[in-house]
Amino acid sequence: MDLDSETIWEDGVFIRIESVDTSLALASSLARAREYAMLTQKQLSEKTGIYQSDISKLERGNANPSILTLKRLADAMDMTLKIEFVPKK
């Protein structure tokens, strides 16, 4: 996943690549992972001990989670947290 850009398609036709805020990309990734794990925010809250309101903030890109918090979330969703540095193109 390229956190710095997003490919824009309209009616199946490539339009352009736009820059995406990293925190919004993380927020979207967290929400998709939670949905993939078939958990509600409340269920994820109960599994992690993180307030549901804080999970909501994370999923809206309104919070800056620590790596430890991301690890707790990943573990609760039975997923592996992967953070990597990729050379810019």
In tens digits, the chain (89 residues) has pLDDT values of 344 455 666 777 776 655 567 888 899 999 999 999 999 999 999 999 999 999 999 999 899 899 999 999 999 999 999 998 888 77
Number of helices and strands in the chain (H, E): 4, 2
Global confidence as pTM: 0.74
Contacts 24+ apart (CB under 8 A), 73-81: 73/30, 73/33, 73/44, 73/48, 74/33, 76/39, 76/44, 76/47, 76/48, 77/33, 77/34, 77/36, 77/37, 77/39, 77/44, 78/37, 79/33, 79/37
